[in-house]
Amino acid sequence: MNIYDLIIVGGGPAGVTAGIYAQRARLKTILLEKLGVGGQIILSDLVENYPGFQEISGFDLMQKFEAQAKTLGLTIDDCEVTRVTDKGEHKIVKTPDHDYMAKSVIIASGSKSRRLGVKGEEALIGKGVSFCATCDGFFFRGKDIVLVGGGNSAITEALYLAKIVNKVYVVHRRSELRAEKILQERALENPVIEFVWDSVVEEIIGNNVVTGVVLRNVKTKERSELAVGGVFVYVGITPNTEFIDLEKDENGFIHTDRSLATSIPGIFAVGDCRQTELRQVATAVGDGALAVTSVERYLG
Ligand code: NAP
């Protein structure tokens, strides 16, 4: 069996950066990615906080990452990693088609959107319930919609949708947003965006298509109905870490030390899938670079 120095699991900003650094370190490396290089950031219409690019779409940014990695000769295989197991000196990375073996692994598997978990959500996905404004926003042209959440994703996507739809009701469970101040300022002064504070969506209504939501004010406990044609959910992320047994926090984010080492020697974790204070392209890139330095030290 082909033994790699390094297998990178995941092709978002952290994983591709690790690939670039590994190629430059002349490590025998392969990157495994199930959905094509890019990660969650390709769902972002606009990235304004990655230095060097005043304004760029997440998709265009990741095309540049990929081109740079491929110019350096990084091998990228399209396949889903189903299991990573530790055999001491070697690690086995399983995919549906075959097993890969490496001396070290960097987990860069990122995250997926968290669900609200309310009545109507699951049944109406694709029928008015969406987790991706850039993918689906077009279908809601001229309609009134609800967007749930108060973080960076919620407010970035509310601003994007405000250019397409008639009205964006941002339903947030508190009266203070979590998003960056500059995003808050823009959203608060946008006439298309209306905030529904201290409120949660209790139910999404619709037979075959979304027709409204049931809201509950968490302070007054009052319930009300709002007629809308769509619901966009941005209530945080869940890490893609089910395929590996490592020390994780209660939400599944992988514990790492300062060198990005995990609880298993030779396995490192980077980007959104690890327990960290900040999840941005800029921090993911830093993780990717640091992890390869740690891999080099580990391989000796
Ligand atoms: P997030 O920062 O965790 O925010 C999740 C939001 O959803 C919070 O406002 C939270 O409310 C709310 N929420 C959570 N569970 C809820 C529930 N059950 N019902 C109603 N509301 C709920 O998640 P995110 O916005 O998806 O961002 C994920 C990470 O990516 C973050 O680290 C973020 O900074 C980063 N990101 C960065 C950028 C950028 O820099 N341009 C863009 C997008 C995302 P509370 O505030 O009350 O907790």
Structural domain spans, the chain: 3-112+237-299, 115-233
3-112+237-299 placed in CATH 3.90.25.10: no
Instruction: Read off the pLDDT of residues 187-241 as tens digits, 9 standing for 90 and up.
Output: 999 999 999 999 999 999 999 999 999 999 999 999 999 999 999 999 999 999 9
Residue 1 has pLDDT above 80, yes or no: no
Residue nearest to atom 38 of ligand 1 (CA): 152
* Same fold flag, 3-112+237-299 and 115-233: yes
**Ligand 1 mean position to 114 CA, how many Å?**
10
Secondary structure in 3-state letters for 182-244: HHHHHHHCCCCEEEECCEEEEEEEECCCEEEEEEEECCCCCEEEEECCEEEECCCEEECCCCE
Instruction: Read off the pLDDT of residues 130-174 as tens digits, 9 standing for 90 and up.
Output: 999 988 999 999 999 999 999 999 999 999 999 999 999 999 999
Single-letter code of the amino acid located at 33? E
Instruction: Read off the pLDDT of residues 35-49 as tens digits, 9 standing for 90 and up.
Output: 899 999 998 888 999
The finding on whether 279 has its CB within 6 A of some atom of ligand 1 is yes
pLDDT score, position 54: 96
- Give yes or no for a contact between 253 and 278, defined as CB atoms under 8 angstroms apart: no
pLDDT score, position 285: 98
Residue nearest to atom 2 of ligand 1 (CA): 151
The finding on whether 103 has its CB within 6 A of some atom of ligand 1 is no
**Ligand 1 mean position to 234 CA, how many Å?**
7
CB atoms within 10 A of CB 91: 23
The finding on whether 39 has its CB within 6 A of some atom of ligand 1 is no
CB atoms within 10 A of CB 136: 16
- pTM comes to 0.90
Q: How confident is the model at residue 57 (pLDDT cuts 50, 70, 90)?
A: very high
The finding on whether 112 has its CB within 6 A of some atom of ligand 1 is no
Q: Which of 273, 277, 279 to mutate to test the pocket of ligand 1 (most atoms within 8 A of CB)?
A: 279
pLDDT score, position 299: 98
| Residues taking part in catalysis | 132, 135-136
pLDDT score, position 228: 98
223-227 and 210-217 beta bridge pairing: antiparallel
Report the CATH number of the 115-233 domain: 3.50.50.60
Produce one character per residue of 214-225: b if its CB has 16 or more CB atoms within 10 Å, e if not: bbbeeeeeeeee
- If we measure between CA atoms, which residue out of 156, 189, 177 comes closest to residue 48? 156
Mean pLDDT of 239-246: 97
Instruction: Read off the pLDDT of residues 259-272 as tens digits, 9 standing for 90 and up.
Output: 999 999 999 999 99
The finding on whether 32 has its CB within 6 A of some atom of ligand 1 is no
